[in-house]
């Protein structure tokens, strides 16, 4: 189980890791991101072909909604593991966990 540290990186400066990751969650989110990557390349293609602006904007909206699904899945995973772990076993980190969640909640809306 990857040790999870809360600050930006652990003592050795390595980036923070999530405590526990469901393999199924990881595979599903990975697939969705690869699809989004393809959609972004598709928009580059449309720009190259001088496609109609409204069609391009419609594709951008599709990428936004794909990203929101990834964010929702990531948030679900975060609530199930990191937030629950903090709330149940680490009252000292409760306020920081809540503020972190509120901060991200507003940025990813």
**Binders of its own copies: how many residues, by CB under 8 A?**
63
Closest to 21 (Cα-Cα) out of 73, 71, 64: 73
Report the phi/psi class of residue 59: left, alpha or beta, with left for phi > 0 and alpha for psi in -120 to 50.
alpha
Say how far apart CA 90 and CA 86 lie, in whole Å. 5
Instruction: Please list every residue from 50 through 109 that binds its own copies, using CB under 8 A.
Output: 50-58, 60-61, 63-64, 67-68, 70-72, 74-80, 82-84, 87-88, 94, 98, 100-102, 104-109
Instruction: Please list every residue from 3 through 42 that binds its own copies, using CB under 8 A.
Output: 4, 8, 15-18, 21, 26, 29-30, 33-34, 36-37, 40-41
Closest to 105 (Cα-Cα) out of 82, 65, 74: 74
C-alpha dist (Å) from residue 64 to 28, 60, 71: 17, 6, 10
Interface residues with its own copies (CB under 8 A)? 2, 4, 8, 15-18, 21, 26, 29-30, 33-34, 36-37, 40-41, 43-44, 47-58, 60-61, 63-64, 67-68, 70-72, 74-80, 82-84, 87-88, 94, 98, 100-102, 104-109
């Amino acid at each position: 189980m990857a040790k999870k540290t809360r600050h930006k990186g652990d003592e050795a400066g390595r980036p923070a890791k999530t405590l526990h990751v469901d393999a199924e969650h990881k595979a599903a989110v990975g697939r969705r991101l690869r699809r989004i990557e393809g959609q972004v390349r598709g928009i580059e293609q449309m720009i190259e072909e001088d496609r109609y602006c409204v069609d391009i904007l419609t594709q951008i909206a599709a990428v936004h909604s794909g990203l929101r699904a990834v964010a929702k899945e990531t948030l679900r995973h975060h609530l199930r593991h990191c937030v629950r772990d903090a709330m149940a076993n680490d009252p000292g980190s409760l306020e920081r966990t809540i503020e972190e969640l509120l901060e991200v909640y507003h940025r990813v809306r």
